[in-house]
Amino acid sequence: MNIFPITPTIGAEISSVDLANLDPERVSAIKDAFFKHHVLVFRDQVLTRDQHKDFGRLFGELHIHPSKRNGMNHEDPELFIVNTKPDAKLTNGEAWHSDVSCEEIPPMASILYVTKCPENGGGDTLFANMHAAFDELSPDLQTLLIGKTAYHDGEIDLRNYGIRLRPEQSYPKASHPVVPRHPQTGKPYLFANGSFTSHIEDIPRWESDMLLQGLYHRTATNPRIQCRVKWSPNTLVMWDNRSAQHHAILDYAGFARYGERVSVLDVERPQPFPLSLTD
């Protein structure tokens, strides 16, 4: 098994491995690489749905998307289908975000298996290292954000796609630390995104908007903390949904893209990073 970093900051491609037939040593090596690189790319994988799910279960219990829990979607509850048609005006994930950060316990990992890529070569995905995003802030701004919580509202994302809930339906809402401590590495990371985060709590709304919009803009425009993954058929990409944000690029009008995602539930809610950076 060979591991090739995509950039010094985020992402790695792993070759010479069959995800349908893993021994314990390779599973351990993949887990180590996952926490080190945040985004892992595996090409030329031939997986059934059950094999895709079994790989996800190596990391924990599979997450059930909220749309499957409230009757909005009746497909396999453990799969999230990304099926972008040639005439689509929107696609899933076309903004910087962490998947369903509005959940009380958001997914710790997302694992997307793409079997059909746009014939024009488009459809790349951008990823950003949110540890590095936090590290690049000034000490004063880090101190300001540590200890703050932000409100994440799933209906913000639904409205971006023109979806309105019916009276009998609901969608998750939750408050999370703006700067949590990563449960495996202990490092701080920024946890706020424009697709789900409504506002920072307990400060005036205009201050919240100023801070959040600045953080979003910095994440989107800072290539030092990013990598770009070009998909090919039968590629599986898994990412840490806590320490990485991602953005799916819709630059393939007139062409189709198909993938299936499983997500892995974390074991607990995001926990705040200590007020003192030296704790």
pLDDT tens digits along 111-149: 999 999 999 999 999 999 999 999 999 999 999 999 999
Q: Answer whether 272's CB lies under 8 Å from 147's CB.
A: yes
* pLDDT value, residue 40: 98
Please report whether residue 143 resides in a domain: yes
The number of domains in the chain is 1
| pLDDT higher than 50, residue 278 | no
pLDDT tens digits along 189-225: 999 999 999 999 999 999 999 999 999 999 999 999 9
* pLDDT value, residue 70: 66
CA dihedral 26, 28, 31, 36 (to 10 degrees): -100
Please report whether residue 139 resides in a domain: yes
Please report whether residue 276 resides in a domain: no
Which amino acid is it at 234? N
Dist CA 205 CA 202 (whole Å)? 9
Q: Answer whether 161's CB lies under 8 Å from 267's CB.
A: no
Please report whether residue 36 resides in a domain: yes
Which amino acid is it at 149? T
SS3 257: strand
DSSP code per residue over 28-76: HHHHHHHHHHSEEEE-S----HHHHHHHHHTTSPBPPPHHHHTTS--S-
Please report whether residue 24 resides in a domain: yes
* pLDDT value, residue 103: 96
Residue 199 per-residue DSSP state: E
The CATH number linked to 100 is: 3.60.130.10
Q: How many C-beta atoms lie closer than 10 Å to residue 85's C-beta?
A: 11
What lies within 8 Å, CB to CB, of 269 at 6+ separation is 104, 105, 174, 176
Please report whether residue 215 resides in a domain: yes
Please report whether residue 273 resides in a domain: no
Please report whether residue 193 resides in a domain: yes
Q: Which domain holds residue 61?
A: 2-268
Q: Answer whether 99's CB lies under 8 Å from 110's CB.
A: yes
* pLDDT value, residue 279: 46
Dist CA 245 CA 99 (whole Å)? 8
Tell me the whole-structure pTM to 2 decimals: 0.94
Give the range among 31-35, 37-41, 45-49, 79-83 with minimum mean pLDDT.
79-83
Percentage of the chain exceeding pLDDT 70: 97
> When comparing pLDDT for 257 and 69, which is higher?
257
